[in-house]
Structure 1
Amino acid sequence: MSDINRIAIVGAGAWGTALAKHLSEKGLLVHLWAYEREVVDSIRSTRENRLYLPAVPLPRSLAVTNSLGEAIQDCQGILFVVPSHVARQVLQRMAPLIEAEIPVISATKGVEEDTYLLMSRVMEDVLPVPAHRKLMVLSGPSFASEVGRGQPTALCLAGGDAQLVSRFQAAFMTSSLRVYADSDMIGVQLGGALKNVMALAAGVVDGLELGFNTRAALITRGLAEMVRLGTAMGADARTFYGLSGVGDLVLTCTGTLSRNHSVGARLGKGEKLDTILGNMHAVAEGVRTARAALGMARRARVEMPIVQEINAVLFEGKSCRRAVSDLMERVAKPEKGLP
C-alpha cells in the first residue's frame, strides 16, 4: 500500500486526463489543471474531456480547475503532463507556488526544442534546488484512450531516490496499470521522446505503402539510433530494450492510434506538414522533437541517419521517397549488434 493520496496533475490533454481518471478511480484525491477554460467547463458539466479524450467518462471525484495554485495546494506530488514546447513557461508559473521539496513527476514525452534539454533538466533550471532530489519521470507504451478505458498497460517510473520511486509506484499501480521502477532518468526520457521521431518515419513508410519488411527495418535501425545517442548522453543501453524504449517504439510505430505515426503516414501520402498540423487539436511531439534530436546528435557527435532524413522531410521540403532511397543507399556497414 502507498501513503500517497493527494495528487495534482498539471496538463489536461489526453494523457493527463487518462492518468487523472486512473488515479481518481483508484481512490486518490486528484486535482487536474487545464489551460483551456473549455476543458474545465466540459469536464464539470459532462464529466468528459470532449476536446482531448472524448467518449471516456470521468469520475465525479475528479476535480478540475484553471488555477495552478488551487490544483497544487496541499498535494503530495505533482504529475506534470504538459507539451514540451510550453513546459518551461508552465513550470515558471508553478515554481513560486510549490513547496520546495514536493515530488514532481514528468510524464511529458518530448525535448525542449531550442535548448535540446530533457524535461528533467528543464525542471532543474526552473524549480527550487531542494526539489531536484525528488524529480521523477514516467514513460512507456501507453495510448491515452486505452488507459482511459482501463485496458492493461505497463509503464516505467524512474528517479534517483529509490524509496520515493517505490512510494509512487505503489500509488499508481492497479490491476490494469503495472508500473516498473528504474533509476535511469536519461534513458527513460530519451526513449519516450525519440520513439515519436521514429514513429513519424514509420508512418512515412506506411504512407508510401512500402510494406512490412521496410517498417521492421526502420524500427530496428531506429532503435539502434536511440541506443547510440542514449549511451553517448550517459544512459544505460539496457533501458532502451525495456518499456520506455522498444516497448513504446513498437507501439507508436505500428499502432493506428499514434498521432506521430498518423502525421508521418499523411506525409508519405503527399500532404504538406502545415496542412496536417493545422487541423490537429492534440500535439504530435515528434515534429518538435525531431529538430531537437538532430541537435542533440550533432552535439554528441552521434550519427542518426533516420533522424536526419525525417528532419529533411519535415523542414527542408525533401520528398519522402528520396529520403527512403538515401537511407537505403548509404555506404554498406557491418551490423555488429544494434548500435
Structure 2
Amino acid sequence: MSSNIVAILGTGVWGSALGAIAKSNSHDVHFWSHRGDVTLESVVKDADIIVSAVSMKGVIPTIGKLRSLNLPTDKIIVTATKGLDPETTRTPSQIWQTAFPDHSVVVLSGPNLSKEIAKGLPAATVVASNDLAAAERVQEIYSSDTFRVYVNEDPIGTELGGTLKNVIAIASGVCDGMELGTNAKAALLTRALPEMIRIGIHLGASAETFFGLSGLGDLMATCDSSLSRNYQVGYGLSHGKPLEEILADLEGTAEGVNTANVLVKIADLEAIAVPIARQVHRLLRAKITPEEAIQALMERDLKPEFCDLDF
C-alpha cells in the first residue's frame, strides 16, 4: 500500500499509540495538541487522514478550529474518542459528521487499552462508517502484525459500545474493590450487555454490533483491567475515596464519569431502563454508598432473563 499522511489530533497515550501504529506501517505521521507549538493548519494541510484522539470535552473546540480551515472533502476524518456530549447528548462521530457533512467520517473503537497498544502487544479493533470504502482505507492504513482491524457499517453502534462500557467499567471496579467475587462480576457484565443493547437500539444502532469487538470485546477488556481509568474510578470509590481525589490522580480522562451523567439524562427523556448505569450515576454523585448501590440492584423486581430485549 502507498504511504499516506496521517494527522493525529491529541498527543495523549491513545493518540500517541495510534500515531505509532501508522508510523510503523510506513505512513508519514504528524501530531497536533492544543498545548503544543505546532499549528493545526500545518498538521492537517497535506494529510490524507485526520485522526481525532482528543477527549470528549475537546471535540467541539477542535472541530471549531478545523472548520475555519476549509478542509478539502477528500480528507477522511477518523474519530477515536469515546464519550457523549453533555449538551447535545450526541456521540463524537455525530458531531463530526454534522460539522463536516461532505466528509467521510470513520469510527475507530475496540478493546484497546492504550498502554498495551503502546507496548506493541497484539490487539484488534473495528473501523466503522457509512462510507465502507473510507473504512476499508483506514483498515489498510492501520492493519499490522500486532493490530488487526475489522470493518463494519454501523458507526453509531461501534461508537456506543466503546462509550457505554466505560460506565460499566466503573461498576466493575466497585465490584472488584469490594471483593464481591467472580459470580458477582459475571452477573454484572452479563446483565450490562443487554442494558447497552437497549440503549444502542433506541439510538439507532444494530444489536449485533454489541456482540463484536467494540461491544462485548471492549466490555471484557475494560472491566477486567486496572489499566482502565474508569475501572480505577470504581475501585477508588469502593474504598471510600472522594471522586475528586480519584480523578486528580488519574493519568488522563475517565470518560465514564461524564457518560454516566449524559446516559441517565437520555434514559430519563426516552424512558429507557438503565439500572446499572443509574446506580453508577448515583454513586458518582455521592447519593449512595457502594454497598447501597449493590443492594439496590439485588432488590430489583424479579423477571425472566430475556424479557426486555426485542432483537
Same fold (TM over 0.5): yes
Cα deviation, 1:282-332, whole Å, max 9, x if unaligned, reads 101111111111122223321000010000000143111101100100110
Counterpart contact for 2:177–2:235, Cα < 8 Å: yes
Does 2:92 match 1:93? no
Partner of 2:216: 246
Match status 1:283 vs 2:248: no
Structure 1 residue 203: deviation in Å?
A: 0.5
Partner residue of 2:296 out of 303, 326, 329: 326
- Equivalences for residues 26-175 of structure 1 within 5 A: 26-37=25-36, 66-101=38-73, 102-127=75-100, 129-131=101-103, 134-175=104-145
Equivalent pair of 2:85/2:92 in contact (CA under 8 Å): yes
Identity value in percent: 37
Match of 2:14 in 1: 15
After TM superposition, the structure 1 stretch with the greater mean CA deviation from structure 2, 310-319 or 152-161, is 310-319
Match of 2:24 in 1: 25
Q: Which runs of 4+ in 1 moved over 6 A?
A: none
Q: Decide whether the 8 Å contact of 1:72 with 1:97 is kept in 2.
A: no
1:233 matches 2:203: yes
Corresponding residue pairs, total: 308
Correspondent of 1:183 among 146, 153, 157: 153
TM-score (norm 1): 0.88
Distance 1:145 1:268 in 2: 24
- Kindly provide the CA deviation profile for residues 42-101 of structure 1, in whole angstroms up to 9, marking residues without a partner as x: xxxxxxxxxxxxxxxxxxxxxxx6311111110001001110012101111111225241
Q: How far, CA to CA, are the matches of 1:256 and 1:224 in structure 2?
A: 24
8 Å CA contact retained: 1:8, 1:78? yes
> Which residue identity is paired with 1:18?
A
The aligned amino acid for 2:89 is Y
**Amino acid paired to 1:114:** E
TM-score (norm 2): 0.95
Counterpart residue identity of residue 79, structure 1? V
**Residue 4 of structure 2 corresponds to which residue in structure 1?**
5
1:313 equivalent to 2:283? Answer yes
Deviation per residue, 1:230-282 (Å, 9 max, x gap): 11111110000000000000001001211110110010111110111122241
2:173–2:223 contact (8 Å) kept in structure 1: yes
- Structure 1 residue 115, shift from structure 2 partner: 1.5
- 1:55 corresponds to: none
Equivalent position SS for 1:179: strand
Offset of residue 12 of structure 1: 0.7
Q: Describe the superposition over 1:117-161 as per-residue Cα deviations: whole angstroms up to 9, x where unpaired.
A: 01111113333x312xx0110000011111111111100000011
The structure-2 alpha-carbon separation of the partners of 1:223 and 1:112, relative to structure 1 and needing over 3 Å to count, comes to: same
SS across alignment from 1:130: coil
C-alpha offsets along residues 141-187 of structure 1, whole Å, 9 cap, x if unaligned? 01111111111110000001111211111111011111000000110
The answer on whether the counterparts of 2:3 and 2:26 sit within 8 Å (CA) in structure 1 is no
Question: Which runs of no fewer than 5 residues in structure 2 stay unpaired?
Answer: none
SS across alignment from 1:97: coil
Q: Structure 1: 5+ residue runs without aligned partners?
A: 38-64
Aligned to 1:46: none
SS in 2 for 1:160: coil
Q: Which residues in structure 2 correspond to 1:285-304 (within 5 Å)?
A: 285-304=255-274
Indicate how the Cα distance of structure 1 residues 105 and 313 shifts in structure 2: closer, same or farther if over 3 A, else same: same
Change (3 A) 1:159 1:4: farther
Output the aligned Cα RMSD: 1.4
Is the 1:143–1:257 contact (alpha carbons within 8 Å) kept by the matching residues of 2? yes
